[in-house]
Structure formats: C-alpha cells, structure tokens
C-alpha cells in the first residue's frame, strides 16, 4: 500500500466506521430480523420465510406497494419539473429573485411534523384555505368550474393527490442544486445558441436540459430513493393511511405501524426489505434509462464526469 | 430502503438508549425515583403530574419520574423498546385492550402477592369487573386505575329548546334514533335529514348523533341483543357478526347515515365528533368518560350524560386502564408504594377530580369526588349503574390490530353504504389471520 | 461596393463602466481586421457589440450595408468563436457544426451534409463522431471554426480563439485561419492581445485602448508609424524605447518636451571607443533569445533595450556606444502622446 493510498484509507476511516456502525450494522440486523418473529418483549424466534409469505398475501402491503409506486411516479417528476422550472426562472439576478428563492427554500425548513399539521389544516375539506380558495367564484358549494371541491381527506384519489401536493413544496434542496448547476453553465453555450437565433424553447431543449442532464439524473435517483420514505410523515399525520382501508398507506407507514403500533418488528423488517428491493429496482431501471442521456452534458466542460 | 431499515433499528436502539441514560442518571440518587410511563392529552398528563407531586409530598424521600407519551400507541412503542433495551419504566399505565401481549410475553410482574400482603389495598376495594380484565392465568397482572364505559353525552340545552324528552334509563336503540331524528336541524331550527354534501338541499346545523363506526361501539349493542362479537371471548378465533342478533345491530348501526342523523365523513374530517359536540353542533355523542374533562370547559350550553341505549338487556363495554409493573424493574418495592398511594382514597380522589376517569376504587367512585354534585355531568351515577352490565373485549394479544382492521372496514361501510353481507364478509376476511396470529402467541 | 462592417459612434457601457467610448470603424468586405489591445481595452466588447450579444448605448452597427443595430444576434448573420467553450459539450462534432442549421429548421440530412463539408474545409472531417471532451484544444478550436463557417456568415468574429493554445499550435492555427479566410473571403474581425499574432494575421490592425481606437492601419503602418506613444510601446516585443527629447539621443529638429522612440531592433550597439558618434552606455543585462539577444542598457539615467544578433552581443558590464540612425527615430508629444513628424521621416517617404 503506497503513501497516497494509506492517507486515503486513513481519511476515509471515520466515515467508513460511521457507515458500518450506523448504517450497515443496523441494516444487517434489520435484514436478519426479517426472518424472525420479534416483538422486543420476548426473545425473538427464527421463522424462516414466514414473514415474506404473509407479506405476499397482506392486502395492506399490496395497497402500499401500489401507493408507494404511484407516489413515486407522480411526485418525483413533478417535483423535478417544478424545481427546474423555478431554478431557471430565478437564476438571474433580478429584483425580487432573492426573496423568491428564499420562498422556495422556506417550506423545506419547516419541521416535517409541523409541516404535516399545517397541511392537515390547509386541506380541511370544509374550513381549509385550499378548498375555500377553490370555492371562490363558484356557488352552492361548487368551484368556479362547477365541480365539487376535492375531498382531500375522505376520497382515496384526492387523498393521494393531496400527499403528492404536499411533497411539491419541499423542493428547496433540489431547487438549490439545479440553481447552482445552472449558474455554473458557461455563458458561451447560451451565446452560441443566441447567435444562431435559437428561441427560448430551443435553448431549453437543446442547451439547458442536456447540459444539466447529469445533475438532473442524480436528482431523479436521489428523489426516488427518498420518495419511498418521504411519504411517511404526511401519511401518518394528515391522513393516517386512510381513507380506509389503505388509500394512503405507503410502505413506510406499514413499517411504522407494524413495528411501533403492533410491535411486529420482524414483519416490519420484512416490509423494509421489500421497500429496499423496490428502491433498488426503481433505481436500476432509471439508471438504465438515464445513463445515455446523462453521460455527456457537463463532461466536456472540464467538470468531473458524474457517470462512469 | 436501506435507510428505512437502518432507521428502524436505530430508532429502537436510540429509544432504549435514552431510557437507559435516564435510569443511569437517577441511579446515582440516594432514593431511586419510580418511573411511570403514561400517555394522554395535556389535561391527563397534568393530572398525573399532580398525582406524582402529591405522592412526593405525602411520602418524604419518595420521588416519581413521569415519562410522557403522546398516544396509547406511542406508549406501547416506548414500553416494548425500553423492555428490549433492558431498561423499562417501573410502572406504566395501559388500557386492558392493549395489555394482552405484555402479559402473554411475561413482561409484567404480577401483583397478586403484593396485593394480598398489602396493608392499605385490598382486592375488594375495587370493582371486580375491572380487576378481572387484568387477571391472567390466575395472577393479577395489573391494578386498574379506572372503570369507564360508554355513555351518551347530550346537549341538554338543545333538548329543552326543541322540547325533546331527555333519555331515560333502559331506553332502546330505536328511541336513540328517533331522538336523533328529532334533533337533526337546519339553521332555521327545522328538522331535516342529513345527507352527503352533494345531495343535501339545506345544510345541517345540528346533527342528532355522533358515534364512531367502530367495533368497540357496536359490541355492547350486540351483547345487549344477545349476540357476541367473537366465537369464544376467552380464546377467540374469529368474528361472529353473522348471527341474527349481531346482524340486526349492524344493520341498524350502519343505517344511521341513510336515516340522516349523523355527520358525513367530510364533516367529521373537517371537525371531529368531540369538537362538534363542544361547538354545539351535535345533540348526542357516544363516548367514554374520558371526554368529560374537555367538556367541562363548555360554557355555551348545558350538557349531561345518559345511559347507552339497549336492545334486550342492559350491556356495556369496559374501558379500563391499569398500572402495570414491569418484570425487569429494579425498583418494584418503591413502585408498589407509589401504587398504594395512587389507588388509595386520597390518590384516587385526586384523579377522580379531573373528571376523566370513573375510579376503579369503589369508595372513591361513590364519593362526591366522582359524582361531583354541581359540576356536569349531573348524571355521573349512570357510569356506576352500568358496571354490573360491563363486559371486556375478547382476550387476545392481537386485539389492537383487530380494532384497526375492523375500523377500516366499518368506516367505509358506514360512510359509503356497503351491503351488510359484504361488510360482514370483509370484516371476517380482514381479521382471520390476525386472530390466527393472536391464537398462535397464546 | 458596400463595406462588410461599419461601426459609427458606438458606445457600450457594462454596468456603470464604459467599455466602448465612441468607436468609428469600417471593415471592408472580405477584409481580415485584427483588434489588438491589452485586457480591459474593450476588444471583446467590440465583438459583442457587433454580434449583438451586448446592447450598445449609442451609435450604429451596419453589416453588409444593413443596419443591424436594433436586431437580435440571431438576425445579424454573424458567427463567433470564443476563447474556450466554443462547442456544446453534449453534442458530437457533427452535431455541433450542424447545430445552427438544425436550430433554423434545416432537416437532419442536409445539416449533416453541410457540417461534413465545413469540417472537411478546416481539416477535421475525421473528428465528426467525437465529442468535445475527446478533442485536444487545437482540435476543439478547429471544430469551432467549422461551426462558425458553416453558417456562411456576413461577418466572422473570433474572440481570442488561440489564447488557450500552446505556442507552436498558436502559430500553425493562425496560419490556418489566414488560409481559411483567404479561401472564403469572409469579412472577419479577429481579437487578440498578442501583437505578433496581429501582425501576422491582419490585413489591418485596430489598436484599442480604453474603449477607443488608438490607431487603425496596416501592420506596416502600425509598426513603422505608430500614431501614438501607446501604440509604439504596445506593438513590438519588447515595445519601443521611449526617451525624453533632451536625453542621450538628440536628433536634429526635435522640439523640447517631445519624447523620442526607437525600436530595440534599430538600436546599434558598438564596443566603446570604436566610434565617437553616439551615446555611451553600460550593459546591465543580456537575454539571449536564440538567434537574437536583448541587451538592457543604461544610458545615464535612462534604460534602453537593444535587439542585437546573439553572436555579436556584449557582456554585462561592458561599456558600449549606442547608435540609432535618424530615420529610425520616432517623436511623440510628451503630453498628448501624439506622433510628431521628424525631418528624417519626411525624407524616407
């Protein structure tokens, strides 16, 4: 082992130790727990694949897989589109841009639980500001388009939409990353397009998006990984998994309920394992789809390649 | 994914660590404080703080550390993780519907011998219905703190205003429905039929009745009708809601929204039953004693409690919480001394005065501390009158899961009007495996 | 014949700082004009004003007889090559060259054909399938040239395209730029801070200083008859020696208060004592540049640099006689810096 390598290992050691102690060890323990019956009261008992067999027939898990994937399918692209849109809108130094940027960041700074409680109030079907707003200009309890206002907490579709809606305001981090990436793009690329007479749409499609592609791809993957967990607090606080039976029961909520409400830690670990498998699958699929697109982009600008 | 998994294990470890740390700190003190884990609303937590303070004052040198949980489920998590972390609280207060698995798994220290040896507490001081609920394989596992049951809270001012007769003992379910119909009114005071917001012509200002579509609300009515909710209350393996007696009750219950006397799901989401009643928008509300504390703050109208209506015979469902001692507690003697105080006349009186509990101690339940002349509800006696008719829920470790699973089906059926046969089938399907698992852990 | 490019009274302000202060410039059709100046002189601003990338605050710009002052960059039919980042990193060489045509709606096939032709014309046909990060610096600029050429622009703007290349490549690329220009005959404005590049490349040179054109002329004119002291010192490596008129070199007929200039190439250094004609100086330092050597001399209170053949160079510390022929002397007004004609100059014309 040469000197550089030794230094590298030395510098990485604290991180690796933390990773092993705080992530790998508990993760291994959890995966082991998935094959046991564990209630944390009595000693746990090895039951082989029983938890997984039950999981395969559990209607709550079936619903949760569907809900989690649908959340992922809506929330991830919408969040990204919104964050990219706002970042491109606010990357110039104009009057009010600073305030607007702060406004985009702010919801992410609210503690998750408080954020959930706030939405519980916002989405109140009768007194909530969201529906009050939708009812403006309508009459007889209908919106101005003549439709009934969404029943956020009692209609399954509306409730799921509500959870996605909640996720659309916590894009601060994604926004900042896109904003920074956009600011780092060379002005010459835009000047080339300008000289060729490119319209705004062409600039977006042929310059901005391809150049941001590696960053966007990483953000998509990151958001995918996060989204299978991000739905947890809103589902717990705002809808508590309902409307019944399982309209907003996400995998993360099943894990929570099984472990902490029913003390079925082994079964919860099995659901966690399923969540892990689903996440890995989602990431692999996206990676295959995005790899080619994201390969270039910043690579030629002297920045490090994000994709090997 | 990985983080979820890690989080799970971490949470468990951390919770345990926190409790351990707490104990390590206090172990250095001369007199080990007794740790008591309770869950509840801010009101309830304040009452326990007062109780702890009173005990410390009454007993020089004794100290009690209160560990507060926000909900009953949060409490269960805290108990299980602290037991796993080998640093459980000395005492915790738990509902008998949830205590089953702790008893089954041997996490509790029975108090039979201590009770027999006690100079101040005696078995006959307590209502046997409450004591029975916490007996497991011949041992008294926990000591009940209260013996609550369901009652009909009613807005007396509305009854007087619309000249509706106040409920009397022995009233029938049909009387309840008729009363509710008479009290469902629009803003102009006309009787109306409540319905879905999209079909309702006039908005309802006052709904006649609020009752949560839950198995533990229907159970006493089914018992009253001569039926039962499970095949064997001591070793249940399935729901028995397909009997004619149970079907009749279910039919009546699930018909309430069609009759048009209860708020819709949207209205309940917008403002729950308790808040609705307190706001004067609900004429009657079926609940246990625990809402009393909150309702005592009502100033806009007069209210009282009435007995639960019946079908053939009086029946009611036991709601009871008990102090349980953990088997691995290192401080059991001190914990017992606290229990002796908490369940003594002064201790029980203190809790009774909060209004939230029906004391399990007979002497206090029949005293002014509970019956509280001059403070609503005026008819608190009905909670005592119903005690002989009290029945516990079936004894099974997975009961909390059964309540949740049936709750989901019933809520849907209640608000969306599923056919009865489907509801009964769905309830059975949703609970079979949970019963199996409960039976397996016996 | 209309001029290729005309700027009249062009002012441009960046923020609050004026970058161009009244540029009047006419570039003939097919001419290669080099804009020379140090950084901050306004060279890039001038190009950007022509391209329309920066909006001018006063004046007019006309390209091929067409007033483009109010037009957006895309409507001016100009091409530009930048110092770096002249290519879009996510596109192949072929797509980069075809980019403009695709933007303007040409079909894929036609754009690709024209891109291939343009690439061939600058000798990078073999690079078409590569991506920018797979190219060397020289190859990138060659492709950038093709990208700019393929449009067949009215004016071709080069913003220090060779600045980031190493010396050898810079020399060969500038030959190539000149060759391409001669072949296509496109009106070209080439910006550089390198005076030798300017000399080698330009039909004419515009020397820029603080947003103004200090001198506009052929390389010969700029070299032999710098219009100001500034041009004299900027052009040439090293620049012209400047001495007061009452200093060691005293040609006939110079007014007091003027400054005299002489290029190092025209300073003759002879061993002291071999002639009496000239000033006596001392060699302080000698830099050998291969064939030539730069001799740093001290003449009394004044420093003078001479460029002499390395074979006959003096050694440091040598006392030498310094001689300058009258026809090689330039005079500038000490206050305005403007050139003052000398009698000798009149004689050489």
C63 and C96: one domain?
yes
Confidence of residue B4 (pLDDT cuts 50, 70, 90): very low
Of C230, C249, C269, the domain-final residue: C230
- Rounded Cα–Cα distance for residues B333 and B339 (Å): 10
Residue of B nearest to A253 (CA): B4
The domain containing residue C21 runs over which residues? 5-230
Residue C349: what pLDDT?
Answer: 42
Give the dihedral sign, CA C258/C261/C267/C269.
Answer: positive
Tell whether A138 is within 8 A of chain B (Cβ). Answer: no
Nearest to C90 among A186, A192, A210 (CB): A210
- Which residues in chain B touch residue A57, judged by CB atoms under 8 angstroms apart? 433
Nearest to A31 among B5, B267, B408 (CB): B5
Of the candidates B150, B147, B50, B149, the one whose C-alpha atom is nearest the C-alpha of residue B359 is B147
Residue B16: what pLDDT?
Answer: 43
Mean pLDDT comparison of A213-222, B218-227, C159-168, C233-242, highest-scoring range: B218-227
Of the candidates C212, C227, C259, the one whose C-alpha atom is nearest the C-alpha of residue C37 is C212
Model pLDDT for residues B249-265, shown as the tens digit of each residue = 999 999 999 999 999 88
| Three-state secondary structure call for residue C78 | strand
- Which residues in chain A touch residue B415, judged by CB atoms under 8 angstroms apart? 154
Tell whether A236 is within 8 A of chain B (Cβ). Answer: no
| Angle subtended by helix axes B244-254 and B215-224, to nearest 10 | 130
Residue A128: what pLDDT?
Answer: 86
At C317, which CATH number? 2.40.50.140
Please enumerate in sequence order all residues whose Cβ is within 8 A of that of A157, keeping only pairs 6 or more positions apart, or say none.
Answer: none
Residue B194: what pLDDT?
Answer: 83
Residue A109: what pLDDT?
Answer: 87
Contact at CB, C53 and A191, closer than 8 angstroms: yes
> CA of B313 to nearest chain A CA: how many angstroms apart?
33
Residue of B nearest to A222 (CA): B1
Of C165, C198, C230, the domain-final residue: C230
C197 and C267: one domain?
no
Contact B91, B339 (CB under 8 A): yes
- Which residues in chain A touch residue B416, judged by CB atoms under 8 angstroms apart? none
* Residues constituting chain B: 442
Q: Where are the domains of chain B?
A: 15-148+319-391, 151-317+396-440
C121 and C172: one domain?
yes
Nearest to A186 among C79, C85, C99 (CB): C85
Superfamily, domain B151-317+396-440: Periplasmic binding protein-like II (3.40.190.10)
Model pLDDT for residues A59-112, shown as the tens digit of each residue = 899 999 999 999 999 999 999 999 999 999 998 888 888 899 999 999 888 888
Same CATH fold, B151-317+396-440 and B15-148+319-391?
Answer: yes
Q: Kindly state the percentage of chain B with pLDDT values over 70.
A: 91
Structural domains of chain A ordered from first start: 48-301 (1.10.3720.10)
Residue A1: what pLDDT?
Answer: 58
Give me the phi and psi of A74, to 5 degrees please. Answer: -95, -50
- Rounded Cα–Cα distance for residues B193 and B177 (Å): 12
C-alpha distance from residue A136 to each of A130, A141, A149, A217, C4 (Å):
10, 10, 11, 40, 62
How many C-beta atoms surround the C-beta of residue B238 within 10 A? 16
Contact at CB, C89 and A301, closer than 8 angstroms: yes
Note whether B touches C: 3 CB pairs or more under 8 A.
no
C46 and C115: one domain?
yes
Hey, which residues does B172 pair with through a beta bridge?
Answer: B310
Residue C346: what pLDDT?
Answer: 53
As a whole number, the mean pLDDT across chain A is: 86
Q: Kindly state the percentage of chain A with pLDDT values over 90.
A: 40
- Rounded Cα–Cα distance for residues B36 and B52 (Å): 9
Residue B202: what pLDDT?
Answer: 66
Residues of C engaging A, defined by a Cβ cutoff of 8 Å: 51, 53, 72-76, 78-80, 82, 84-91, 99-100, 102-104, 131-133, 147, 151
At C65, which CATH number? 3.40.50.300
Indicate if the pLDDT at residue C255 is higher than 70. Answer: no
Indicate if the pLDDT at residue B312 is higher than 70. Answer: yes
Hey, which residues does B305 pair with through a beta bridge?
Answer: B153
Per the model's pLDDT, the better-predicted residue between C72 and C346 turns out to be C72
Please enumerate in sequence order all residues whose Cβ is within 8 A of that of B251, keeping only pairs 6 or more positions apart, or say none.
Answer: B420
Burial class (CB in 10 A: 0-12, 13-18, 19+), B94: buried
- Which residues in chain C touch residue A197, judged by CB atoms under 8 angstroms apart? 72-75, 100, 103-104
Contact at CB, B266 and A31, closer than 8 angstroms: no
Residue C27: what pLDDT?
Answer: 94
- Rounded Cα–Cα distance for residues C133 and C122 (Å): 19
Of C183, C209, C230, the domain-final residue: C230
C178 and C246: one domain?
no
C58 and C144: one domain?
yes
Model pLDDT for residues B163-193, shown as the tens digit of each residue = 999 999 999 999 999 999 999 998 888 888 8
Residues 46-105 of A with CB under 8 A from B: 54, 57, 59
Nearest to A276 among B5, B12, B102 (CB): B5
Model pLDDT for residues B118-144, shown as the tens digit of each residue = 999 999 999 999 999 999 888 999 999
Model pLDDT for residues C189-208, shown as the tens digit of each residue = 999 999 999 999 999 999 99
- Which residues in chain A touch residue C78, judged by CB atoms under 8 angstroms apart? 195
C47 and C163: one domain?
yes
Cα dihedral A132, A136, A141, A145 in deg (nearest 10): -120
| Maximum Cα–Cα distance across chain B | 70
Per the model's pLDDT, the better-predicted residue between B180 and A1 turns out to be B180
C22 and C144: one domain?
yes
C188 and C93: one domain?
yes
Model pLDDT for residues C2-29, shown as the tens digit of each residue = 788 999 999 999 888 899 999 999 999 9
Task: Report the complex ipTM.
Answer: 0.83
Q: Average the pLDDT over B210-216 and give the result.
A: 95
Tell whether A124 is within 8 A of chain B (Cβ). Answer: yes
The pTM of this model reads 0.80
- Rounded Cα–Cα distance for residues B351 and A169 (Å): 45
Contact at CB, B83 and A273, closer than 8 angstroms: no
Residue of B nearest to A127 (CA): B270
- Rounded Cα–Cα distance for residues B89 and B66 (Å): 9
- Rounded Cα–Cα distance for residues A155 and A243 (Å): 6
C224 and C86: one domain?
yes
Contact at CB, A194 and C53, closer than 8 angstroms: yes
Of C8-17, C25-34, C256-265, the range with the lowest mean pLDDT is C256-265
- Rounded Cα–Cα distance for residues C297 and C287 (Å): 12
The number of domains in chain C is: 2
- Which residues in chain A touch residue C102, judged by CB atoms under 8 angstroms apart? 206
Encode C59-68: b = buried (16+ Cβ within 10 Å), e = exposed: bebbbbeeeb
Indicate if the pLDDT at residue C57 is higher than 90. Answer: yes
Contact at CB, A244 and B2, closer than 8 angstroms: no
Tell whether A205 is within 8 A of chain C (Cβ). Answer: no
Q: Average the pLDDT over C325-346 and give the result.
A: 80
C175 and C269: one domain?
no
Confidence of residue C275 (pLDDT cuts 50, 70, 90): low
> CA of B89 to nearest chain A CA: how many angstroms apart?
13
Contact C205, C32 (CB under 8 A): no
Indicate if the pLDDT at residue C272 is higher than 80. Answer: no
Indicate if the pLDDT at residue A299 is higher than 60. Answer: no
Model pLDDT for residues C85-126, shown as the tens digit of each residue = 788 888 999 999 999 999 888 888 999 999 999 998 888 889
CATH class in words for B15-148+319-391: alpha beta
Residue B325: what pLDDT?
Answer: 95
Residue B27: what pLDDT?
Answer: 40
As a whole number, the mean pLDDT across chain B is: 88
How many C-beta atoms surround the C-beta of residue B55 within 10 A? 23
Per the model's pLDDT, the better-predicted residue between A131 and B17 turns out to be A131
Which helix (H) or strand (E) covers residue B136, if one does?
strand B135-136
Residue of A nearest to C85 (CA): A188
Residue B355: what pLDDT?
Answer: 87
DSSP A167-223: HTT--HHHHHHHHHHHHHS-HHHHHHHHHTT--HHHHIIIIIHHHHHHHHHHHHHHH
- Which residues in chain C touch residue A211, judged by CB atoms under 8 angstroms apart? 88-90
C226 and C107: one domain?
yes
């Amino acid at each position: 082992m040469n000197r550089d390598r030794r230094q590298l290992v030395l510098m990485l050691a604290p991180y690796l130790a933390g990773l092993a102690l705080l992530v790998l060890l508990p993760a291994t323990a959890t995966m082991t727990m998935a094959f046991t019956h564990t209630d944390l009261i009595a000693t746990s008992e090895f039951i082989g694949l029983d938890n997984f067999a039950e999981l395969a027939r559990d209607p709550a898990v079936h619903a949760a897989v569907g809900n989690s994937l649908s959340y992922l399918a809506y929330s991830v692209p919408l969040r990204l589109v919104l964050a990219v849109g706002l970042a491109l809108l606010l990357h110039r130094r104009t009057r009010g841009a600073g305030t607007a940027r702060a406004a985009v960041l702010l919801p992410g700074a609210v503690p998750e639980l408080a954020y959930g409680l706030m939405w519980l109030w916002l989405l109140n079907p009768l007194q909530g500001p969201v529906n009050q707003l939708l009812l403006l200009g309508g009459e007889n309890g209908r919106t101005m388009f003549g439709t009934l206002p969404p029943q956020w907490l009692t209609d399954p579709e509306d409730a799921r939409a509500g959870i996605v809606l909640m996720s659309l305001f916590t894009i601060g981090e994604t926004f900042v990353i896109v904003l920074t990436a956009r600011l780092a793009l060379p002005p010459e690329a835009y000047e080339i397009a300008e000289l060729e007479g490119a319209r705004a749409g062409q600039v977006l499609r042929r310059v901005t998006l391809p150049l941001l592609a590696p960053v966007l791809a990483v953000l998509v993957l990151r958001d995918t990984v996060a989204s299978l967990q991000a739905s947890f607090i809103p589902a717990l606080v705002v809808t508590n998994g309902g409307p019944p039976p399982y309209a907003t029961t996400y995998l993360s909520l099943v894990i929570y309920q099984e472990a902490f409400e029913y003390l079925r830690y082994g079964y919860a670990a099995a659901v966690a394992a399923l969540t892990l498998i689903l996440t890995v699958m989602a990431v692999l699929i996206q990676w295959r789809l995005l790899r080619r697109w994201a390969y270039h982009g910043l690579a030629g600008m002297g920045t490090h390649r994000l994709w090997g | 994914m990985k983080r979820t998994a890690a989080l799970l294990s971490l949470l468990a470890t951390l919770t345990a660590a926190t409790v351990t740390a707490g104990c390590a700190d206090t172990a250095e003190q001369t007199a080990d404080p007794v740790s008591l884990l309770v869950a509840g609303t801010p009101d309830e937590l304040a009452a326990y703080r007062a109780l702890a303070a009173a005990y410390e004052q009454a007993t020089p040198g004794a100290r009690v550390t209160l560990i507060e949980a926000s909900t009953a489920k949060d409490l269960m998590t805290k108990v299980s993780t602290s037991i796993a972390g080998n640093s459980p609280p000395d005492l915790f207060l738990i509902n008998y519907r949830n205590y089953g698995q702790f008893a089954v798994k041997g996490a509790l220290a029975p108090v039979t011998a201590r009770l027999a040896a006690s100079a101040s507490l005696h078995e006959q001081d307590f209502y046997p219905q409450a004591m029975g609920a916490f007996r497991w394989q011949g041992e008294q596992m926990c000591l009940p703190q209260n013996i609550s049951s369901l009652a009909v809270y009613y807005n007396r001012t509305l009854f007087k205003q619309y000249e509706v007769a106040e409920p009397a003992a022995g009233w029938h379910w049909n009387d309840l429905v008729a009363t509710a119909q008479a009290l469902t009114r629009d803003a102009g005071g006309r009787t109306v039929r409540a319905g879905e917001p999209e079909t309702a012509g006039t908005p309802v200002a006052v709904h006649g009745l609020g009752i949560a579509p839950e198995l533990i609300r229907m159970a006493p009515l089914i018992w009253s009708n001569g039926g039962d909710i499970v095949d064997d209350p001591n070793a249940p393996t399935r729901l028995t809601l397909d009997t004619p007696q149970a079907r009749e009750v279910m039919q009546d219950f699930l018909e309430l929204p069609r009759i048009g006397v209860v708020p819709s799901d949207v209205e309940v989401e917008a403002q729950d039953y308790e808040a609705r009643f307190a706001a004067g928008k609900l004429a009657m509300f079926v609940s246990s004693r625990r809402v009393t504390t909150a309702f005592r703050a009502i100033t806009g109208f007069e209210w009282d409690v009435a007995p639960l209506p019946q079908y053939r015979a009086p029946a009611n469902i036991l709601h009871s919480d008990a102090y349980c001692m953990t088997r691995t507690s290192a401080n059991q003697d001190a914990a017992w001394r606290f229990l002796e105080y908490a369940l003594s006349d002064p201790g029980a009186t203190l809790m009774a005065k909060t209004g939230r509990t029906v004391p399990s101690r007979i002497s206090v339940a029949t005293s002014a501390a509970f019956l509280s002349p001059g403070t609503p509800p005026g008819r608190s006696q009905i909670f005592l009158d119903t005690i002989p008719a009290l029945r516990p829920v079936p004894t099974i470790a997975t009961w909390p899961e059964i309540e949740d699973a049936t709750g989901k089906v019933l809520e849907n059926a209640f608000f969306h009007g599923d056919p009865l046969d489907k509801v009964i089938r769905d309830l059975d399907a949703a609970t079979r495996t949970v019963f199996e698992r409960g039976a397996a852990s016996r | 014949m209309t001029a290729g490019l005309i700027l009249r009274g062009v002012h441009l302000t960046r923020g609050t700082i004026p970058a161009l202060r009244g540029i009047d410039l006419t570039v003939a059709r097919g001419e290669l004009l080099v804009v020379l100046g140090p950084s901050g002189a306004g060279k890039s601003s001038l190009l950007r004003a022509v391209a329309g990338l920066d909006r001018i605050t006063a004046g007019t710009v006309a390209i091929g007889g067409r007033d483009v002052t109010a037009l957006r960059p895309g409507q001016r039919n100009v091409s530009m090559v930048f110092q770096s980042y002249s290519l879009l990193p996510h596109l192949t060489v072929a797509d980069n060259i075809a980019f403009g045509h695709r933007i303007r709606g040409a079909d894929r096939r036609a754009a690709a054909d024209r891109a291939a032709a343009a690439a061939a014309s600058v000798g990078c046909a073999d690079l078409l399938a590569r991506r920018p990060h797979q190219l060397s610096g020289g190859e990138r600029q060659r492709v950038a040239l093709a990208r700019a050429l393929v449009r067949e622009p009215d004016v071709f703007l080069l913003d220090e395209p060779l600045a980031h290349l190493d010396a050898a490549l810079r020399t060969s690329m500038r030959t190539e730029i000149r060759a391409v220009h001669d072949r296509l005959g496109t009106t070209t404005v080439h910006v550089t801070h390198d005076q030798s590049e300017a000399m080698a490349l330009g039909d004419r040179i515009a020397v820029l200083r603080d947003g103004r054109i200090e001198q506009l002329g052929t390389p010969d004119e700029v070299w032999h008859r710098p219009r100001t002291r500034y041009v004299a010192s900027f052009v040439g490596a090293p620049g012209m020696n400047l001495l007061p008129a009452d200093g060691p070199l005293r040609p006939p007929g110079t007014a007091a208060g003027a400054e005299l200039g002489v290029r190092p190439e025209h300073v003759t250094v002879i061993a002291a004592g071999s002639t009496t004609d000239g000033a006596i100086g001392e060699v302080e330092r000698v830099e050998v540049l291969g064939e030539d050597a730069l001799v740093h001399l001290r003449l009394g209170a004044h420093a003078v640099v001479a460029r002499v053949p390395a074979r006959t160079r003096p050694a440091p510390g040598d006392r030498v006689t310094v001689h300058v022929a009258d026809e090689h002397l330039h005079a500038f007004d000490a206050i305005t810096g403007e050139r003052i004609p000398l009698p000798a100059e009149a004689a050489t014309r």
